[in-house]
Chains A and B, each alone.
Chain A
């Protein structure tokens, strides 16, 4: 139902598209989450106008506003309203809105008429309050009182505050401020569009043989795997707490499972022999399915991580290779690559290895090889890349209809990975020379560059990263 509302938009946006995305409505949004209100219904071709208000200036406040504005922009769900000089209207009264308490109207004067005149359907304000008024936090017995950021979403047409979020963070920890602000942005997106944003996520990628982690806005590029090694195939666990990747070791390929928090890593036991690669976690995080190249070609195996047992082979056949498994979100099926027809194409099977069949249709002798499938988090699509005139291009297949459409055409574009909203894809592109990670919004076709490294390969997008309870 949401899908029909989301379409390619203005001419300016379409200009950034490399290839026109078909105007067909996409049913890619997951079912509405409980407790999230839809603030607006918008007509095709028009996105709600979003204004991030200015205010009192401090490093934290300015940072939070900038991060919030960027996250809302990157959600591709809004027309962001910016004023000359980057200035923005300011709430005229610095009293915090107390609408949740007694609603007696002692809040600030919110100039809805001005915001509406600027084209805003929504306005977001960020201000700071002193934490001493918050009694139930550990900070209250601290002598140094920290401040809390309050983020308020105003519905301009409804002339009311729609959502209020509080971020209580240690000012000395920049990463906490970043991630908490990302989570607030995701909640704002969820409140307006019915499905949360994707700012509080992180991507893995390979650069110069090393696994890196980078926030969805390109910040905090951090190496996770040791230097002086050659790693490939990084992937997140569904809860975002663990990662897995392959490292070359004396002609073999060993899978390592690593805690993101502690950095501690261990070898996945059955992968000490052969060349093991393209691991993927099962949706419950209990098992790993991966490819192993050995004496009878490359085949897909499953292994129970939590029970540390039960290596099971899912594919057979001495004449062809099988690799790059990806689970459907309901864990019932696995899409994968098989060279059964002589060149790599996308296949599907039940997760126990039965019922293997061609998945993405292709034309014999015409269609190029197809690789690197990833099932979308909503289960509705498969993204993969396919050779077109000697270069890989990103494709998406509708699982229900098996219709395939091409998303990219400039340079090499490969190894797509889904954002948790099922609407954005990260992929590797050589469009500006060196391979970098880029992000495309399937609904608008807008493309942005995520990384500026020497090279970036094999991205893997996390789910939404929940706050740790520690």
Chain B
């Protein structure tokens, strides 16, 4: 910046000379203490202005960094909220053997939570996948898993969620959570799983959760 200053002064001199018409150029001015002082003052004022500008810029940068930090915090907060909502969405419902009805109690609580999340996030679309334990017939279990997914979906549709936001699928007995062959394992495996299929990047936790 400072290096260019003499050059611009030189340009100003040439322009001033050109403005005087066709006369011969005046002799170059000799050293003039006044003009040297003026020049110094001018330079000081420029430096002061520069300092002021720099200070403003620093302040702006500080504010910008603060804003970015705030936004980052906000994004992190929302990402954390999205994760919490996703975790809540992942809670499973369970079923009795060879049944697809939603049991009052823990399972309706789980579905009420899904309902609140879907209401708080109108862009969210989810899929319910029905699963079965290994005891029933392999192919029949595909139909049973579908029934289970449909019952969970119907619970939400009955409470005002649009059908288009709820997809269903069935994996029958093909994806057990617990490969064991006992009632504890079977109980875990007779389930409805909920996954996000759209609108799940920025989720709001409904009030009261």
Contacts and interface: CB of A to CB of B under 8 A. Distances in A.
Given A252-B169, A275-B169, A371-B139, A297 B146 contact: yes
15 contacts: A232-B138, A232-B142, A233-B139, A251-B167, A275-B142, A278-B139, A291-B139, A293-B142, A293-B146, A298-B143, A321-B146, A344-B137, A414-B138, A458-B138, A458-B139
Interface string A272-308: 0001011000000000000101110110000000000
A230 B170 CA distance: 13
A392 B141 CA distance: 14
Contacts of A275: 142, 146, 169-170
A64 B146 CA distance: 50
- Which of B129, B137, B170 has the most chain A CB atoms inside 10 A of its CB? B137
Contact of A372 (B139, B147, B171): B139
Given A248-B174, A297-B147, A323 B140 contact: yes
B202 to A, nearest CB: 24
A281 to B, nearest CB: 17
B143 A291 contact: yes
B150 A297 contact: yes
B174 A337 contact: no
B142 A251 contact: no
Nearest to B195: A251
Contacts of B129: 251
A415 B144 CA distance: 17
A321 B127 contact: no
Given A232-B142, A344-B137, A369-B98, 17 more contacts: A209-B174, A275-B169, A275-B170, A277-B142, A278-B139, A291-B143, A294-B146, A295-B168, A297-B143, A321-B146, A323-B143, A324-B140, A369-B137, A372-B139, A372-B140, A385-B137, A392-B137
A337 B140 contact: yes
Interface of B: 98, 127, 129, 135-140, 142-147, 150, 163, 167-172, 174
Interface of A: 209, 230, 232-233, 248, 251-253, 275, 277-278, 291, 293-295, 297-298, 321, 323-324, 337, 339, 343-344, 369, 371-372, 385, 390, 392, 414-415, 457-458
A287 B146 CA distance: 25
A251 B139 contact: no
Nearest to B175: A230
A415 B138 contact: yes
A232 B139 contact: yes
A230 B174 contact: yes
B135, B142, B163 interface centre (most CB from chain A within 10 Å): B142
A150 B191 CA distance: 61
Contacts of B137: 344, 369, 371-372, 385, 392, 414-415
Q: Is chain A's interface secondary structure helix, strand, loop, or mixed overall?
A: strand
A343 B144 CA distance: 10
B207 to A, nearest CB: 32
B182 to A, nearest CB: 13
Given A251-B127, A295-B150, A277 B139 contact: yes
Contact of B140 (A252, A295, A371): A371
Contacts of A372: 137, 139-140
Contacts, number: 78
Looking at B135, B136, B139, B144, which has the most chain A CB atoms within 10 Å of its CB?
B139
Contacts of A321: 143-144, 146-147
Nearest to B135: A390
A252 B170 CA distance: 8
B162 to A, nearest CB: 13
Given A248-B171, A275-B170, A369 B140 contact: yes
A68 B61 CA distance: 91
Contacts of A291: 139, 142-143
Contacts of A324: 139-140
A390 B133 CA distance: 13
B119 to A, nearest CB: 22
A275 B127 CA distance: 14
Contacts of B163: 295
A251 B169 contact: yes
A344 B142 contact: no
Contacts of B170: 275, 293
B138 A457 contact: yes
A298 B146 contact: yes
A323 B139 contact: yes
B150 A343 contact: no
A298 B150 CA distance: 11
Nearest to A415: B138
B142 A253 contact: yes
Contacts of B136: 369
Nearest to A343: B98
A51 B163 CA distance: 69
- Which of A275, A323, A324, A415 is packed against the most chain B CB atoms within 10 Å? A275
Contacts of A415: 137-138
Nearest to B139: A278
Contacts of A458: 138-139
A431 B138 CA distance: 17
Contacts of A297: 143, 146-147, 150
Contacts of B139: 232-233, 277-278, 291, 323-324, 371-372, 458
Nearest to A368: B98
A81 B144 CA distance: 50
A357 to B, nearest CB: 20
